[in-house]
Amino acid sequence: MSASRSPSSTPESPPVEPPPTDPPTGGDGGGGLSRRRLFGYAGAGVALAGSGAAIGYAAGASGGGPDRPGVVPFRDTHQAGIVTPAQDRLHFVALDLTTTDKAEVQRLLQKWTTAAERMTAGQEVTENGAVGLNKYAPPTDTGEALGLPAASLTLTIGFGASFFEKLGLQDRMPAALAPLPSFTGDNLDPNRSGGDVCLQACADDPQVAVHAIRNLVRMGFGTASVKWSQLGFGRTSSTSTAQDTPRNLFGFKDGTNNLKAEEPADLDANVWVQPGDGPDWMTGGSYLVARRIRMHIEIWDRTSLDEQEQIVGRSKGEGNPLSGAKEFDVADLAAKGPDGQPAIATDAHIRLASAEAHNGAKMLRRGYNFVDGSDGSGHLDAGLFFLAFVRNPQTQFVPIQRALANKDKMMEYLEHNGSALFAVPPGVRDGEYWGQGLFA
């Protein structure tokens, strides 16, 4: 049970009674639960606060801290939605600016920040925005999240290289935002790539994530328009030791060896832009690599279990590296099997992607499974929407992806058909708006 959005609740005070009119969606989650009953903060099932909260995110498998279960704090040193324990659902959108007017973009960022802070707290876009205002005007909140809890919603913003070019801010553009090279086997669709701005909404309820993006997009009409978007229905990474490792659509556990929120030194080394990395406004920020990776799952499904495991380098059931017995056993890349061959094949995915093979480079992966219907030829348009946060994509993502693209046997079953790179500014402090430092 967790905090619920109310037309007039604030993070500090308990919500008041909803207006007498029932929302037309009847969005009470079924079973006749009143919104009032959903409001209770008591009975919070999250008992996993602990060390996580100290480094600035809400801990727990379903997010949320002890004060506001299900509410991930919006303002902090870093943006939420990066080391926040990966939520179950994603709605990601890339937008292009339709203006070159810097002041107009700043105004939009201010409006977005206000709305994002409210929505992540489980509130409507504006107070009473869905049904409580002038009935002759369109509601300021679209309403589909009425009665739903905050659901650990996080909203994370990033800026693509074209953002700086359009606004004449090239002198503020980080060098790390240089275009990604093309990789062997890439089949990138321009309509699923790039974008001036990205918004990542993650939540434990898909409707809450979609509601957030929908309302932010709406606020952007006239200043920014959607270039592409992606829904993800299930997380493929754990970003906290408190989480189980989920499975991707190949049926394998994914993200066992991921960077975790409980490893602050690793995060500083691999995720957060450090002082001196430059530019200054990015300190405390990160870089987000997004890749839409179509999986040819029908072909994969015809592959023997043994071959699947050899390709990945892990067992499918337990998820142990083929050099060990348990999921979290450290992969021993030097280990030999009974036949004298490497236990983890020389072209196995986990070997090619390992930190050992890349001077210790690691990425915080935060991807999502997707199925976007079918492709018209009887196959599911399914795969992994890969999201990774890194301190420097050029020295972390690029060498790893190059190795995978050239050598990974798994590539036979994959097609990268979307790609984007964004600079993710640091978190917002009181009174600040998203990306404010960039305009200072």
Binding site for other proteins (CB under 8 A): 98, 133-134, 136-138, 218, 221-223, 225
Least CB distance from residue 98 to other proteins, whole Å? 5
96 or 262: whose CB is closer to other proteins?
96
223 or 230: whose CB is closer to other proteins?
223
Q: Which residue has the tokens 């094949």?
A: 345
For every residue of 256-276, DSSP letters joined together read TT---TT-HHHHHHHTSPPTT
219 or 380: whose CB is closer to other proteins?
219
Least CB distance from residue 134 to other proteins, whole Å? 4
For every residue of 322-377, DSSP letters joined together read TTSSSTTSPP-TT-B-TTSSBSS-TT-HHHHT-GGGGTT---EE--EEEEEEE-SS
Beta-carbon contacts of residue 373 (< 8 Å; ≥ 6 apart): 380, 381
98 or 106: whose CB is closer to other proteins?
98
Answer left, alpha or beta for residue 119, where phi above 0 means left and psi between -120 and 50 means alpha.
alpha
Least CB distance from residue 28 to other proteins, whole Å? 27
Least CB distance from residue 228 to other proteins, whole Å? 11
77 or 98: whose CB is closer to other proteins?
98
CA angle at 270 for the pair 165 and 400, rounded to the nearest 5°? 80
Q: For residues 286 and 259, what is the distance between their CA atoms, to the nearest angstrom?
A: 14
Least CB distance from residue 170 to other proteins, whole Å? 24
14 or 222: whose CB is closer to other proteins?
222
Q: For residues 57 and 427, what is the distance between their CA atoms, to the nearest angstrom?
A: 11
32 or 138: whose CB is closer to other proteins?
138
Q: How many CB atoms lie within 10 A of CB 97?
A: 21
Beta bridge partners of 201: 91, 155
Least CB distance from residue 225 to other proteins, whole Å? 4
CA distances (Å), 168 to each of 161, 162, 165, 400, 429, in order?
11, 10, 5, 32, 26
Least CB distance from residue 292 to other proteins, whole Å? 19
For residue 149, give both structure tokens: 């809890």
Residue type at 286?
A: S
